[in-house]
Amino acid sequence: MAVQAAEKTTTSATSVDLGPAAALSCRECGERFPLGPIFACGSCFGPLEVAYELPEGDPEELRRRIESGPHSIWRYAPLLPVPADVAAKPNLNPGFTPLVRADRLAAELGVTGELHVKDDSGNPTHSFKDRVVAIAVEAARAFGFTTLSCSSTGNLAGAVGAAAARAGFRSCVFIPHDLEEGKVVMAAVYGGDLVGIEGNYDDVNRFCSELIGDPLGEGWGFVNVNLRPYYGEGSKTLAYEICEQLGWRLPDQIVVPIASGSQLTKIDKGLKELVRLGLVEDRPYRIFGAQAEGCSPVSRAFKDGHEVVRPVKPDTIAKSLAIGNPADGPYVLDIARRTGGAVEDVDDARIVDAIRQLARTEGIFAETAGGVTVGVTRRLIEEGRLDPSLTTVVLNTGDGLKTLNAVSDSGPTATIRPDLEAFRAAGLS
């Protein structure tokens, strides 16, 4: 299927306007293909990613250009596979979310350097997925698709539904049948088709891969399959924003949740691009991956010293990270080892405790994936593998209102009569 897709691309998609995007390049063998809706190399079947002709010239001028841009990911349009007029098109304008200085959390964790939480719950559908979908929508427009689709653990389904509604696409998204109710409702409310598949995420993803090769999928842009090279580039904007919000400097350490692993690999790509463009000073940084113990194939491979990832069957409350066969797992291992980082996991109890700790110390209500990153950060500090004296950024990729079941035992401290005597008796004064 990948070879046929590559051949079609050479004749049908050479004149699309995706800004500085120049070609698709194989991450394994380096072969290049014209821009098109393909995701695998026609020679070695390796994954494809976008190759660029990035702007050259004075870094200070590029910084000023970025800083004068919109307060969204489109301030970085010169570095993304999107047309120059992208900000004027109907879209949800995600990004430029807060980088929160987390001093109270730092004190509890024993961090003496700067600790920041990159809080992506403020995106339009309350997760980082709005970033990647926004880029995929522009590719879908360029390639003439009429339907947006995806396989999703929840957040992506909502992001695709919302982006399709805003941009005027039909949407049909596929999810495991047992997702959290909040994510199901959010994906359904935008009016597109929402299809539950009996099985886990890996079953859903296999089904979508089959649909792409069938006439039923004609005209469909699957944001995380045939549009995946473009989609993944949206995660780079997290790296761009973090560095800009730190005063155009690299963080020393960053902790990233792992589902497919694409977010972590693209954050590394974004950091390297900023260095190459002279927008930040080149110095070492460490990237750490975070998984839930109940779905930790990359963490296991890292600890065992393996270069490949053995698939597992997910069993965790962190359903947004429950991908048992992560496509970018081997690349995550390489980045963690190359940068001197690590990949670690925590169990469900520590995930819930970390959600509460972040909420109690910083007023940020994270979904379970955020509990994973905070929980892993705490474990890495306790075990002496993350340096508490350095500038560290922890990612929260979604809103806790989507995973209320994780903390469903929360409730009133007390229930009293509406009078002062009852309040005094409750011992709360």
* pLDDT of amino acid 36: 96
* pLDDT of amino acid 229: 97
Query: What CATH number matches the domain at 99-126+234-407, 3.30.1360.20, 3.40.50.1100, 1.10.600.10, 3.40.50.740?
Result: 3.40.50.1100
* pLDDT of amino acid 12: 42
| Beta carbons within 8 Å of 161's beta carbon, 6+ residues apart | 171, 173, 186, 187, 188, 189, 190, 191, 192, 194
Could you give the C-alpha distances from 95 to 155, 166, 188, in angstroms and in order? Answer: 15, 16, 23
Give the amino acid at 6.
Answer: A
* pLDDT of amino acid 70: 97
Position 10 pLDDT exceeds 80: no
- CA 359, distance to chain mean position in Å, is 21
Percent of the chain scored above 70 by pLDDT?
A: 97
Per-residue pLDDT tens over the stretch 114-127: 999 999 999 999 99
Average pLDDT value for residue range 383-408: 96
Grade residue 8 by pLDDT with cuts at 50, 70 and 90.
very low
Position 2 pLDDT exceeds 60: no
Asked if residues 143 and 16 have their Cβ atoms less than 8 Å apart, the reply is yes
| Beta carbons within 8 Å of 421's beta carbon, 6+ residues apart | none
Q: What average pLDDT is seen over the chain?
A: 94
Sign of CA dihedral 32, 33, 36, 40: negative
Per-residue pLDDT tens over the stretch 13-67: 457 899 999 999 999 999 999 999 999 999 999 999 999 998 888 999 999 999 9
Which 3-state string (H, E, C) describes the chain?
CHHHHHHHHHHHCCCCCCCCEEEEEECCCCCEECCCCCCECCCCCCEEEEEECCCCCCHHHHHHHHHCCCCCHHHHHHHCCCCCCHHHCCCCCCCCCCEEECHHHHHHHCCCCCEEEEEHHHCCCCECHHHHHHHHHHHHHHCCCCEEEEECCCHHHHHHHHHHHHHCCEEEEEEECCCCHHHHHHHHCCCCEEEEECCCHHHHHHHHHHHHCCHHHCCEEECCCCCHHHHHHHHHHHHHHHHHHCCCCCCCEEEEECCCCHHHHHHHHHHHHHHHCCCCCCCCCEEEEEEECCECHHHHHHHHCCCCCCCCCCCCCCHHHCCCCCCCHHHHHHHHHHHCCEEEEECHHHHHHHHHHHHHHHCCCECHHHHHHHHHHHHHHHCCCCCCCCCEEEEECEEHHHHHHHHCCCCCCCCCCCCHHHHHHCCCC
End-to-end CA gap in the chain: 68
* pLDDT of amino acid 153: 86
Per-residue pLDDT tens over the stretch 343-358: 999 999 999 999 999 9
* pLDDT of amino acid 231: 97
* pLDDT of amino acid 278: 97
Grade residue 154 by pLDDT with cuts at 50, 70 and 90.
confident
* pLDDT of amino acid 181: 86
Could you give the C-alpha distances from 264 to 20, 189, 290, 330, in angstroms and in order? Answer: 22, 30, 10, 12
Q: 321 phi and psi, to 5 degrees?
A: -105, 10
* pLDDT of amino acid 11: 33
Position 270 pLDDT exceeds 80: yes
* pLDDT of amino acid 162: 97
Give the amino acid at 391.
Answer: T
Which range of 179-188, 286-295, 418-427 scores highest in mean pLDDT? It is 286-295
Position 9 pLDDT exceeds 70: no
Asked if residues 423 and 429 have their Cβ atoms less than 8 Å apart, the reply is yes
* pLDDT of amino acid 191: 96
* pLDDT of amino acid 374: 98
Q: How far apart are CA 113 and CA 390, in angstroms?
A: 5
* pLDDT of amino acid 212: 87
Grade residue 182 by pLDDT with cuts at 50, 70 and 90.
confident
Position 223 pLDDT exceeds 60: yes
**Domain boundaries, given as residue ranges, for the chain:** 1-53, 99-126+234-407
* pLDDT of amino acid 102: 98
